[in-house]
Amino acid sequence: MTATLPADTILSVRDLKTWFVSKRATAKAVDGVTFDLKRGKTLAVVGESGSGKSVTSLSIMGLLAKPGRIAGGEVLFRDRAEQVHDLAQFAPKQFRAIRGREIAMIFQEPMTSLNPLYTVGDQIGEMIALHSDVGRQGARAKALEMLKHVEIPDAARRLDEYPHQMSGGMRQRVMIAMALSCNPSLLIADEPTTALDVTIQAQILDLLQRLQAQFGMSILFITHNLGVVAEVAHDVVVMYGGRVVEQAPVNALFAHQTHPYTKGLLACTPDATRDLGTDGARRALYSIPGSVPPITNLPPGCAFEPRCSMAVDACRTGLPPLIPAGPETFSRCIRSHEL
């Protein structure tokens, strides 16, 4: 049976299960995750370390390290030719044909992705030559064009520099240039600003938004920072314990949270006015009590229950379903109506 997608959707993750199986235990890093990404829009996937958000992105890209494997579900992707593919069924050779050309990815630390032995021009040019019918000179000219697109000053000179000769912000721009060099329709950005200082973070986020408008690409933005989400996203998926706990348009989520975990995440985000006490003194930043449980030892009911001040007996006995909690909003909390 041929997979189908709504006309306005480029990516649909449906009941995705990604497990890491060993002789000692099975870690269900992603357990039944479902979401849609619209054409030309940005979907942010938010959660603490260990929530499953990065494993979700690696599953989409076919970059899972062993013993990780997709144990169930679908990852439906619409390519440039309007053909819909289930990436969950792809072999490594099939991924190599679309990775970089149709779907590209940028990571948190560019030094782990850029080769220190080659100039940035050679590395971008290699990506272009791999997916395009151009010669060496054509690939170099395109690489120079891409460095200009990502606003690297004196791009012609930078083309022949090595990654270690550039700042962290410049290296991240090089990674963005490489990712967009073949004009992919989907960009996955996995914590792309976390390793950068605040000023450079803002510049990179602004650059991504401008390039999205220019190239018309869709972005899956992975982050733990809800403050960043407010700047870039149209829709938000909040993950905890390998599952989606809340899903909503960005404006609706910031106006009203329908899961205690999302409410806690937002309270952890620094706010210049909210963090002042009645006497004008700076208050300590809020932190959610406890820590994320090991993915191999989740509670039998709601994974957030041990850290939740609203938990009742029903939260401990069964996994809450993801239910409607407002217009285009879904929550995995049996008390969402009380929030």
Kind and range of the H or E run holding 307: none
Res. 272: pLDDT tops 70: no
Q: For position 285, what pLDDT does the model report?
A: 76
| Mean pLDDT along residues 107-115 | 84
Query: Sheet holding 68-78: strands in order across?
Result: 26-38, 9-21, 68-78, 84-86
Domain ranges of the chain: 9-102+184-338, 116-181
pTM attached to this predicted model: 0.94
Q: For position 227, what pLDDT does the model report?
A: 86
- Kindly report the CATH class assigned to 9-102+184-338: alpha beta
pLDDT tens-digit readout, 12-34? 999 999 999 988 889 999 999 99
Q: How confident is the model at residue 276 (pLDDT cuts 50, 70, 90)?
A: low
Share of the chain above pLDDT 70, in %: 96
69: left (phi over 0), alpha (psi -120 to 50) or beta: beta
Q: For position 274, what pLDDT does the model report?
A: 59
Quote the tokens at residue 339: 């929030």
Kind and range of the H or E run holding 188: strand 186-190
| Mean pLDDT along residues 256-268 | 94
Rounded CA-CA distance 48/35 in Å is: 18
Residue 242: CA count within 13 A, CB half-sphere: 22
Phi, psi (5° rounding) for residue 80? -60, -30
pLDDT tens-digit readout, 39-88? 999 999 999 999 999 999 999 999 999 999 999 999 999 999 999 999 99
Rounded CA-CA distance 306/289 in Å is: 9
Q: How confident is the model at residue 2 (pLDDT cuts 50, 70, 90)?
A: low
Res. 5: pLDDT tops 90: yes
Q: For position 194, what pLDDT does the model report?
A: 83
322 and 331 in contact (C-beta within 8 Å)?
yes
pLDDT tens-digit readout, 163-203? 999 999 999 999 999 999 999 999 999 999 887 888 889 99
| Mean pLDDT along residues 108-115 | 83
pLDDT tens-digit readout, 282-323? 667 788 999 888 999 899 999 999 999 999 999 999 899 999
Task: Look up tokens 């649909």; give the residue.
Answer: 12
Kind and range of the H or E run holding 106: strand 103-106
Q: Where are the beta strands (DSSP E) in 241-307?
A: 243-249
Res. 157: pLDDT tops 60: yes
